[in-house]
Amino acid sequence: MPAGRLLASSYQRYVLPGPDGGRVFLFAGPSRGSLGLLLADIYKDSVELQKLLKILIPEIWGFEEPCPEPEPEPVPDPVPEPEPEPEPGPEPEPEPEPEPEPTPEPDPENGLTSEEQLMVDLVNKERTQRGLKPLEVDMRLVELARLKSQDMIDLNYFSHTSPTYGSPFDMMKQAGVEYRTAGENLAGASTVERAHNALMQSDGHRRNILNPAFAHIGVGIIKGGPYGMMFTQMFIGLPGF
């Protein structure tokens, strides 16, 4: 031991039976591993002494590889439960779209429907383009013309002579309409323009529209019949004209 250094050690005394029946005295220091290995080899045939040595000097068993303690199985991380999806609230009911306001029919001018007024305008346009005076609307003739158009639809005929009212001149006389000269045009068509063009392409009807002796007109248009609409024009020239 080098000078100037002291080691403090403690020893233990062991008394063991020897192999020949005597006693063996052993002194062991703090490190007893080598002694334990030696004794284990000496008493390898004695099971009882092996047990005793194991108790007295447990370090002798250090040459055996200790069985590793089983590591605890890892606890799996808890899987978070999915949050319940929020229940969808009731969908708002769509507000009904406001119904478009119906386009009002134009107010009849002079008691005429819009179609009747259009036909009067077309007739007067033909006249004024040729230097003739425009015709004035006579509501008595308008009422008679409407009756004639409706009668042709109801009785399914197309003629100047009505099974109900007779000739247009008979109708005028029965209604108290005085005239010096009179005429009537009839047409069946789907529009006012088509009816007017057809009348202007017919010599007899064209003469009535452009007759300078006529001063008043009545137009009666009724929807229905095989053509879509029925048209009646009545013309008169007043006495003294």
Q: Which CATH number fits the domain that encloses residue 183? A: 3.40.33.10
What is the pTM assigned to this prediction? Answer: 0.56
The confidence score (pLDDT) of residue 175 equals 97
The confidence score (pLDDT) of residue 239 equals 78
The CA–CA distances, whole Å, from 34 to 47, 54, 61, 184 equal 20, 14, 11, 149
Pick the last residue of a domain from 63, 78, 96. 63
> What type of residue sits at position 216?
H
The confidence score (pLDDT) of residue 115 equals 98
pLDDT at 53 over 70: no
> What type of residue sits at position 118?
L
Q: Do 44 and 121 fall within a single domain?
A: no
Q: How many CB atoms lie within 10 A of CB 54?
A: 13
In a domain, 51, yes or no: yes
Q: Do 122 and 208 fall within a single domain?
A: yes
Each residue's pLDDT tens digit, 166-215: 999 999 999 999 999 999 999 999 999 999 999 999 999 999 999 999 99
Domain count, the chain: 2
In a domain, 96, yes or no: no
Query: Looking only at Cα atoms, what is the longest distance across the chain?
Result: 181
pLDDT, mean over the chain: 78
CB 219 within 8 A of CB 120: yes
Q: Do 154 and 52 fall within a single domain?
A: no
> Minimal CA–CA distance to 11: which of 32, 33, 36, 37?
32
Print the domain residue range for 32. 12-63
Q: Do 130 and 17 fall within a single domain?
A: no
CB 231 within 8 A of CB 218: no
3 state SS of 181: strand
Q: Do 219 and 147 fall within a single domain?
A: yes
CA 230 to chain centre: 45
Q: Do 212 and 129 fall within a single domain?
A: yes
The CA–CA distances, whole Å, from 9 to 25, 30, 36 equal 19, 7, 18
In a domain, 27, yes or no: yes
CB 212 within 8 A of CB 181: no
The confidence score (pLDDT) of residue 185 equals 98
In a domain, 58, yes or no: yes
Q: Do 129 and 233 fall within a single domain?
A: yes
Q: Do 34 and 148 fall within a single domain?
A: no
- Residue 34: is it exposed, middle or buried by C-beta count within 10 angstroms (0-12/13-18/19+)? exposed
Q: How many CB atoms lie within 10 A of CB 240?
A: 5
Q: Do 118 and 222 fall within a single domain?
A: yes
In a domain, 167, yes or no: yes
pLDDT at 106 over 50: no
Q: Do 22 and 139 fall within a single domain?
A: no
Q: How confident is the model at residue 153 (pLDDT cuts 50, 70, 90)?
A: very high
Q: Do 125 and 205 fall within a single domain?
A: yes
